[in-house]
Amino acid sequence: GAGVSQSPSNKVTEKGKDVELRCDPISGHTALYWYRQSLGQGLEFLIYFQGNSAPDKSGLPSDRFSAERTGGSVSTLTIQRTQQEDSAVYLCASSPRESYYGYTFGSGTRLTVV
Amino acid sequence: LAKTTQPISMDSYEGQEVNITCSHNNIATNDYITWYQQFPSQGPRFIIQGYKTKVTNEVASLFIPADRKSSTLSLPRVSLSDTAVYYCLVGDNGQAGTALIFGKGTTLSVSS
């Protein structure tokens, strides 16, 4: 597609439930990144994919968080047993091989855990 | 990735030129300097990238001195719509395997 697409745009979930957030990167972009941003805060790096593999998972805050990428394209970030501190905007970005730091971000998924 | 230091906030008025300076004393030979802009309720947007001297595009100019230990993002004649957070990042653009780490950036507020 023309840009990075994330779904859903908004998600309200009850504490303890599992959620899945989806990212559809720009076609042909080899690298895909997940960040989260809490209200008024900077971006917190979560995980990075090169193709289908994740060389850097260092930012995942706990074992409740996991992510996968299939076919070198769509990625899913799963949060199990959500907690209120998981409430944030989850942003996905992708970049092409020839310009790894030329990220294109999606509009994000606003997650609210109640 | 080299650490960067930039002002937390800046204020300006419409029509003025705004210069945001970023320090990156430990920049490596292969590192590029990249700036992103983030409007409220949106993801960051790539605005400019450079290696040395000066780079200009339709949005901004980027000035990099010979020692590359700092860089200055210049926004000509800002408008209210330039109110945003501006992030300075340094890293090896051609090296896969690392992700950009965004700091708190510089919050630019433009008033009329």
Block residue for tokens 């720009």: A26
Optimal mutation site among B27, B32, B46, interface A, most CBs of chain A within 10 A: B46
Query: Does B46 contact A103 at a Cβ distance shorter than 8 Å?
Result: yes
Query: Does B101 contact A45 at a Cβ distance shorter than 8 Å?
Result: yes
**Mean pLDDT, rounded, of chain A:** 92
Query: Does B43 contact A91 at a Cβ distance shorter than 8 Å?
Result: yes
A1-21: pLDDT as tens digits: 579 999 999 999 999 999 999
Work out the pLDDT band at B97, boundaries 50, 70, 90.
low
Work out the pLDDT band at B93, boundaries 50, 70, 90.
low
**β-pairing verdict for B9-13 and B106-111:** parallel
Sheet holding B53-56, edge to edge: B18-23, B70-75, B61-64, B53-56
Contacts of A63 (CB under 8 A, 6+ apart): none
B24-80: pLDDT as tens digits: 999 989 888 999 999 988 899 999 999 998 999 999 999 999 999 999 999 999 999
pLDDT attached to residue A57: 83
**Mean pLDDT, rounded, of chain B:** 91
pLDDT attached to residue A7: 97
Whether the CB of A71 is below 8 Å from some CB of chain B: the reply is: no
Provide mean pLDDT across the span B11-35: 94
pLDDT attached to residue B91: 82
A69-102: pLDDT as tens digits: 988 899 999 999 999 999 999 999 998 876 667 8
pLDDT attached to residue B100: 81
Geometric angle at alpha carbon B103, from B25 and B14, rounded to 5°: 95
Name the residue facing B94 among A30, A41, A100 (closest C-beta): A100
